[in-house]
Amino acid sequence: MTVVAKEVKEEILAKIKNGEPVARVAPSYGVSSKTIYNWLRTKAISSISVLEYNKLKRENKELKEIIGILTLEVEKLKKKTDR
């Protein structure tokens, strides 16, 4: 396991945040893409509170339900116009 200095890790994550692809950044720093994705996942998990996570989860569920209802309505309208 390669130890990466905190400053280097932050530099890598900043480049990715600014749009650099992980596949391009990883080899230039001698770090695996898997390691970088683990950093990103860990950073994302630690940067969101449980309350925010639950709120987002609830909103996502509500949006999926709305999409389902709208899809059914569109199908009903299609069947009416096909008659």
CB atoms within 10 A of CB 59: 10
Check whether residue 6 and residue 37 sit in a common domain.
yes
Check whether residue 30 and residue 68 sit in a common domain.
no
What pLDDT shows up at residue 53?
Answer: 75
Check whether residue 42 and residue 4 sit in a common domain.
yes
On the question of pLDDT at 65 being above 90, the answer is yes
Share of the chain above pLDDT 70, in %: 89
Q: Give CA–CA dist 59/52, Å, rounded.
A: 10
Give the residue with greater pLDDT, 55 vs 67: 67
Number of domains in the chain: 2
Check whether residue 9 and residue 37 sit in a common domain.
yes
Range(s) of the domain holding residue 8: 1-47
| Selection from 36, 15, 41, 40 nearest residue 26 by Cα | 36
pTM of the complete model beyond 0.85: no
In the numeric block, the tokens 């209802």 are attached to 69
Q: Give CA–CA dist 21/17, Å, rounded.
A: 9
On the question of pLDDT at 2 being above 70, the answer is no
Check whether residue 40 and residue 56 sit in a common domain.
no
